[in-house]
Amino acid sequence: MNVKGFLMEDEQGQEFVVVCQKPYWQPGKAFALRGWQRRRMVPLEHTGQELRDMTRGVRSTLNDLLQRLPRASGKHEY
Structurally, the chain folds into a number of domains equal to: 1
Q: Is residue 15 part of a domain?
A: yes
Q: Is residue 77 part of a domain?
A: no
pTM for the structure as a whole: 0.60
The pLDDT of residue 20:
75
The pLDDT of residue 23:
60
The pLDDT of residue 6:
83
Q: Is residue 30 part of a domain?
A: yes
Residue 73 CA neighbour count, 13 Å, CB half: 5
Q: Is residue 73 part of a domain?
A: no
Residues spanned by the domain of 49:
5-66
Residue 56 CA neighbour count, 13 Å, CB half: 6
The pLDDT of residue 15:
83
Letter for the amino acid at 47? T
Query: How would you write the pLDDT of the chain (78 residues) with one tens digit per residue?
Result: 677 788 888 888 888 888 876 666 666 666 777 777 766 777 778 888 888 888 888 888 888 888 887 776 555 555
